[in-house]
Amino acid sequence: MSPVIDEKVAPIYQEVLNRNPGEVEFHQAVLEVLESLGPVLVKYPEFAHQKIIQRICEPERQIIFRVPWVDDQNQVQINRGFRVEFNSALGPYKGGLRFHPSVYLGIVKFLGFEQVFKNALTGLPIGGGKGGSDFDPKGRSDGEVMRFCQSFMTELYRHIGEHTDVPAGDIGVGGREIGYLFGQYKRITNRWEAGVLTGKGLSWGGSLVRTEATGYGAVFFVDEMLKVRNDSFEGKKCVVSGSGNVSIYTTEKIVQLGGKVVASSDSNGYIYHENGIDLDLVKQLKEIERRRISDYVNYHKDAKYVAGGNIWEIPCDVAMPSATQNEINGKDAKMLVENGCIAVGEGANMPTTPEGVKIFLDANIAYGPGKAANAGGVATSALEMQQNASRDSWTFDYTEERLQRIMKNIHQSCYETAEEFGTPGNYVNGANCAGFIKVAKAMVAMGII
């Protein structure tokens, strides 16, 4: 598909391609934002004059480091660690750490770039960053994961801090990993600095609702999109990919709002359960026992497991991709639309390819892009930072209400901005323009830095 890109912006994209060779996911994320920005430059010519787009596409700082550790067989292992501190115009760098064998600079930069606009949309004072490693926690013992995290933090600690850069979790990094990372940070710095990491355990500085936040927030966002169309989750058949943190709490909130989730997956295949996914079982298998989703069918004989299957072939009203980038291609998007899907809310980051996005937009379904729909996770991380700063801890209900209000505001801001720039109902343009304008104005105010 040839991209639709404004002539003022096209040379900037070419420069990004030339300066960042081989980083295909980063190119994809940049192009998606740049395609929306033509009308913004007409309204704000100072952004072009000040080369805001070029500056936003260049991370403020990129750190790549060696992470050596010793496995259970006494063998030395070497991984690569990354932290890309993308933009701090609105606050300290904020964004998760991903531990997955596919991680390289291009993935970290795509995630960091998206994070800048997502964080701006939350309305909270946080800049954007992202990090991670090509370490694969799957099949590793707790001791191995701990030694890896300790080695990772032994370098990372000098670059982060509550006013500088505040990492959190992402794929492969949950409560266990954040605990090991925090422990090592505390040990090296001799500081009990709660605000340096978010996603902490509840008994040592964590926030209620942070675990649930990304999934709950994504469902709140889709609920707002449905409300605009005089519809709701009530009675909707839903498919939620993945079976990790985002997927589990997306499923939980859909059920609370009256919908039914019939499928769940991991990187090996999907399960289909017509009667509705047994979420307690998924939590037990994935959060506690760290097993595969295929084990689900040992407990429910009426469910089926499709090894290597494509979860998007299941007809549904609402699809919520919650696993990883580019998990919905053009063919999948076409299948979803033809099967009657009316709404897509992205819990994952950039889970739909550009071809897929175009199909959703052309079909005029309610399509909520990740940088808006999954912003509830980082927003609640910022609420965790607020609680840490005031040495307070809020109740579950109060925190969830704050999250819901934030998602409502993000929806409204995307909706109104899409209208303002002449593309009503296009949440991609709405999110890109609203996020960009907020960061750009702050950068203009701060001069050439």
Residues lying near ligand NDP in the complex (CB under 6 A) are found at 169-172, 174, 214, 242-247, 266-268, 322-324, 347-349, 374, 377
Nearer CB in complex with ligand NDP: 5/372: 372
Choosing from 109, 118, 130, 371, which is the catalytic residue?
130
Nearer CB in complex with ligand NDP: 171/418: 171
For the question of residue 51 being annotated catalytic, the response is no
Buried b (16+ CB within 10 A) or exposed e, 176-187: bbbbbbbebbbe
Nearer CB in complex with ligand NDP: 205/244: 244
Side-chain half-sphere of 137: how many Cα atoms within 13 Å? 22
Q: How many CB atoms lie within 10 A of CB 366?
A: 22
Cα-trace Rg, the chain: 21
Contact between 30 and 16 under an 8 Å Cβ cutoff? The reply is: yes
Nearer CB in complex with ligand NDP: 24/48: 24
HEC assignment per residue over 114-165: HHHHHHHHCCCCCCEEEEEECCCCCCCCHHHHHHHHHHHHHHHHHHCECCCE
CA 380 from chain centre, in angstroms, equals 13
Grouping H, G, I as helix, E, B as strand and the rest as coil, residue 301 is: coil
Amino acid at position 324, single letter: T
**Rounded to the nearest whole angstrom, what is the least distance from the CB of residue 171 to ligand NDP in the complex?**
4
Report how far residue 162's alpha carbon sits from residue 143's, in angstroms, rounded to the nearest whole number: 27
**Rounded to the nearest whole angstrom, what is the least distance from the CB of residue 372 to ligand NDP in the complex?**
11
**Rounded to the nearest whole angstrom, what is the least distance from the CB of residue 246 to ligand NDP in the complex?**
4
Give the helix/strand (H/E) hosting 32.
helix 24-34
**Rounded to the nearest whole angstrom, what is the least distance from the CB of residue 407 to ligand NDP in the complex?**
13
Nearer CB in complex with ligand NDP: 5/23: 23
Q: How many CB atoms lie within 10 A of CB 9?
A: 20
**Rounded to the nearest whole angstrom, what is the least distance from the CB of residue 95 to ligand NDP in the complex?**
9
Nearer CB in complex with ligand NDP: 370/443: 370
Residue nearest to ligand NDP (CB): 244
**Rounded to the nearest whole angstrom, what is the least distance from the CB of residue 384 to ligand NDP in the complex?**
11
Find the Cα–Cα–Cα–Cα dihedral 39, 439, 227, 421, rounded to 10°: -10
**Rounded to the nearest whole angstrom, what is the least distance from the CB of residue 380 to ligand NDP in the complex?**
8
Nearer CB in complex with ligand NDP: 88/122: 122
The runs of H, that is alpha helices, within 257-395 are 279-283, 330-338, 354-362, 370-373, 376-389
User: Active-site positions?
Assistant: 130
